[in-house]
Structure 1
Amino acid sequence: MLLVDTYLDKSSIQGIGVFARNRIPKGTLIWKLDPRFDRRIPVDTYESQTGPVKSYLDRYSYPDRHDPSYIVFEADDARYMNHDDDPNCDVSSPDETYALRDIAPGEELTCNYNHFFENGFDFLGDRHP
C-alpha cells in the first residue's frame, strides 16, 4: 500500500501515472506490501483467466519475487506506477519501495520494471532488456 499522499493524472510516460501530492524526501518509505490489501494470486488462477480479467492482470500485476507460483496485484494506485530507466523509486526489495532522491510535489513516481522480470519485460510491444 502507498504510504505517501499521491494522485493519478495523465502521464507523459504512458497512460495514467502516480504523482506525489507533497514533497517526498530521499529515503522515504513510499510503499509497503500489505497482505491485508495487496493480493497474491496463484499463477494457475491467473493463467486460467481470459478476456478483460486476463488483460487487466497482465497490465497491473507482476511476478511475486518470494514465490514464483504467485503474482502480486496491488490493491491501490501503486499499480499505476510507470517504468523509467532512471526511476525516482527503488523497488529492489519485494516488500518495500523507497524514494531514491527527493521527489517534488507534482512529480510522477517511477520505478524500474526490470526488478520484477528476470529477462526484461514486454510492455505494449516494447521489449526492455
Structure 2
Amino acid sequence: MLLIKTFVAASAIEGVGVFAGEAIKKGHLIWKLDHRFDLLIPRSVLEDGEMAYRELLMRYSYPHAPDPRYVVYESDNGRFMNHSFDPNTDFTGPDQGYARRDIAEGEELTGDYSEFWPEFTAVHHVAPTAHMNGHAH
C-alpha cells in the first residue's frame, strides 16, 4: 500500500505511471505490504483462471518474493509503477519500499523490478540500460 499521496498520469516511459502527489525526502517509507490492499493471489490463477483474470495479473502483478506460490496484486496506484534500472525508489526489502533520493512533487515514481523479482530481466529480455514498463508483456 502506498503511504504517500500519488496520482496516475501519462508516462514518458510507457502508457501511464504513478506520480508523487507531494515532495518525498530520501529514505522516507513510501510503500508497505498491507494484506488489506495488496492481495496475495495463488500462481495457479495465472495458469488455470479465466482469461480476463490471467491478463490482469500478467500485466499488474509480480511474484511474491517470500513465497513464490503467490503473486502480489496491488489495489492502489502502486500497480502503475513503471520499471527503471535507475529508479528513484528502493524495493530491496520484499515488504517495504523507500525513496532512494529526494523525489519532487509531480515526478514519476519508478522501481527496479529486479530488486523484488530477480528473474525480471531474463523473463522480459531487457538489457540493464533499458527503461521499460515491466507490465507490458
Question: Taking structure 2 as the reference length, what is the TM-score of the superposition?
Answer: 0.86
Which consecutive residues of structure 2, in runs of 5 or more, have no partner in the other structure? 128-137
| Residue number in structure 2 paired with 1:30 | 30
Query: 3-state DSSP class of the match of 1:12?
Result: coil
Q: In 2, Cα distance between the equivalents of 1:53 and 1:119?
A: 22
Q: In 2, Cα distance between the equivalents of 1:93 and 1:116?
A: 7
Question: What is the deviation of 1:79?
Answer: 0.4
Question: What is the deviation of 1:84?
Answer: 0.6
Two-structure CA RMSD over aligned residues (Å):
1.6
Deviation per CA, 1:71-97: give whole Å up to 9, x if none: 111111100000011000001111001
Report matched runs for 1:1-20 at 5 Å: 1-20=1-20
Which consecutive residues of structure 1, in runs of 5 or more, have no partner in the other structure? none
Q: In 2, Cα distance between the equivalents of 1:59 and 1:5?
A: 23
Q: In 2, Cα distance between the equivalents of 1:53 and 1:45?
A: 7
Q: Aligned residues: percent identity?
A: 48
In structure 2, do the counterparts of structure 1 residues 50 and 116 end up closer, same or farther at CA, with 3 Å as the change threshold?
farther
In structure 2, do the counterparts of structure 1 residues 122 and 77 end up closer, same or farther at CA, with 3 Å as the change threshold?
farther
More off after superposition, 6-15 vs 36-45: 36-45
Question: Taking structure 1 as the reference length, what is the TM-score of the superposition?
Answer: 0.91
| Residue number in structure 1 paired with 2:106 | 106
| Residue number in structure 2 paired with 1:128 | 126
- Larger % of strand: which? 1
The residue type paired with residue 76 of structure 1 is D
